[in-house]
Amino acid sequence: MEIILPKFGLFFWTLVVFLTVFFLLKKFAWGPILKALNDRETDIENKLRSAAEAEARMKTLTAENEKILQEAQSERAKILKEAGELKAQIIAEAKKEAQAEAAKELANARRVIESEKAAAVAHIKQTAVRLSIEVAEKVLRYELADKTKHEQFATQLVNDIRLN
Amino acid sequence: MNLPISVILRIIVVLVLAFPTLARASETKAEGEQSGGFNVTELLLHHVLDSHDWHIVDIPTGGGKYFTVSVSLPWLLYDSEKGLKFFFLHGHTPEELNASAAEHGYQIDGHGHIASLTGANVVDLSPTKTVLHILMVALVMLLLFTRIASAYKARPNQAPKGAQSFFEPLIVFIRDEIAKPNLHGKHAAFVPYLLTLFFFIWFANIFGIMPLNSNIAGNISVTAALAVLTFVLIQFNGTKDYWGHIFWFPGLPVPLKLLMTVVEIVGLLTKPVALAIRLFANISAGHFMVLALISLIFLLGKQGQSVGGALGILPLSLAFSLFILTLEVLVAIVQAYIFTLLTAVFIGQAMESHDHAEAGH
């Protein structure tokens, strides 16, 4: 029977000791421990969140890098294309200029040739005139020795004049 | 506060041994205290009941003499005439104690109840064996958990180490699995109490399993004190709905309301009573089982007269008591868990506010 009857002394001391332990532990153990656990949990949470954020940032960064790379590539292609066009244009212009120059040279040459030719023709004509005059003089000199023939020729000349 | 556990344990042992009148050497015990020789009931009760000395072991020295290792504890009384009285009594048998008490003006019966010879009212507030053991448990808790707390402070936001790693899952379990689901968002205020309760009961139970002739939570006074605290916490956290359900049950005709008030008040009291009895009965039952199984050796051995009987039962008795002791290790933590969980559940129920009209309960 005694075993199931609470004794006041033990009951009282259990209350006193238990409550003392509770208040001491609350202040010096559970408080700091629970706070440390909470702090650590929030710390881990924050770190996980910032890691996720960093990952997302990395992703956008990679995407941006790719975009920049693509832009650079297209820029390069554009520049190369432009350079090619420029080259072709320069070559074409150079060709045109060269052609024009050549044509001018050719024209000049032609003109020179023409003038040279004209001069040569004139010279030839002069020479032919002089030679023909000399021939004529010689012929005349030979012909005038015969009077009749001389008259005949004169007549003929007169006839010719008439015809003209 | 960076003492290793082994040093803490040594300090406790030294403190205990330094307590007055340790070992009374060579004391003659009444041979075979009763005519029948070995009295199991007395042994069981002597172990489980609280006492004014911590009787650890009697070592036979031959010739019916024993070397008794025990710690005599002082008496502390509140006397309605003389105020607080503090004294040591000498002797071990009820007669010796009674004679010693008479010098102080008191008498002690065979059960250790003390009364004044002058007829004054006496309240026994003695620091008994169990009080000493509770103090030891308290000391272990204080040293252990302040040490763990300083480990948390020393290494903030880092993984736990050593004792921290052992106790952290338990602390987190009590916070997240006992307090959080039951206390409706107000758990933070109760977690320190629940932690203290859980570890106090668990450590006390473990202390009781150790062969120190200790029995803490197997004392109804101890479990009653814990249950009373739970009861107080329940009432102090009761909402209007809670009190409404007790004194004026909603949705019932008036005669039934009156009947329900009686039922609810009984229910109010059964909760802590059940808590106290459950813990007390579980722990003392374990002690009884182990002691009874060990006693079988002495019963069948007829106090050394039948060696064959003792040897015959020995393997069975040891195997069974080993089994029960192993079970007790489990019971130690399970009962601590149940007491803590039910405390949280009861407080949570009182905190609930019922938004819906209930048809019945």
Ordered by start, the domain boundaries in chain A are 56-134
Q: Which helix H or strand E contains B65, and what residues bound it?
A: strand B65-72
**Nearest chain B residue (CA) to A28:** B146
Ordered by start, the domain boundaries in chain B are 74-126, 130-351
Tokens read off for B197? 């309760």
CA–CA distance, B7 with B66 (Å, rounded to integer): 32
Q: What is the DSSP string of A46-110?
A: HHHHHHHHHHHHHHHHHHHHHHHHHHHHHHHHHHHHHHHHHHHHHHHHHHHHHHHHHHHHHHHHH
Tens-place pLDDT, residues B179-233: 999 988 888 899 999 999 999 999 999 999 888 888 899 999 999 999 999 999 9
Provide the residue type at B210 as one letter. M
Using the beta-carbon criterion (under 8 Å), do B157 and A4 form an inter-chain contact?
no
Query: Which of B97, B81, B77 has its CA nearest to residue B89?
Result: B97
Q: Residue ranges of chain A with pLDDT lower than 50?
A: none
CA–CA distance, B353 with B65 (Å, rounded to integer): 67
| pLDDT at A91 (0 to 100) | 93
**pLDDT-derived band at B2, boundaries 50, 70, 90:** low
Tell me the nearest-neighbour CA distance from A80 into chain B, angstroms: 57
Residues of B in contact with A2 (CB under 8 A): 45, 49, 111
Q: CB-based contacts of A5: which residues, under 8 Å, 6+ apart?
A: B220
Tens-place pLDDT, residues B228-284: 999 999 999 888 888 888 888 888 888 888 888 888 889 889 999 999 999 999 999
Q: What percent of chain A is helix, strand and coil (3-state, nearest 5)?
A: 95, 0, 5
Q: Which helix H or strand E contains B275, and what residues bound it?
A: helix B254-300
| pLDDT at B355 (0 to 100) | 56
Counting beta carbons within 10 angstroms of the beta carbon of residue B246, is it exposed (0 to 12), middle (13 to 18) or buried (19 or more)?
A: middle
Q: CB B13: neighbour CB atoms within 10 A?
A: 11
Tell me the nearest-neighbour CA distance from A74 into chain B, angstroms: 50
Tell me the nearest-neighbour CA distance from B88 into chain A, angstroms: 16
| pLDDT at B13 (0 to 100) | 64
Q: Which of B50, B128, B134 sits opposite A17 (nearest CB)?
A: B134
Contacts 24+ apart (CB under 8 A), B86-89: B88/B20, B88/B21, B89/B52
Residue B302 CA to its chain's centroid (Å): 33
Name the residue with higher pLDDT: B33 or B224: B224
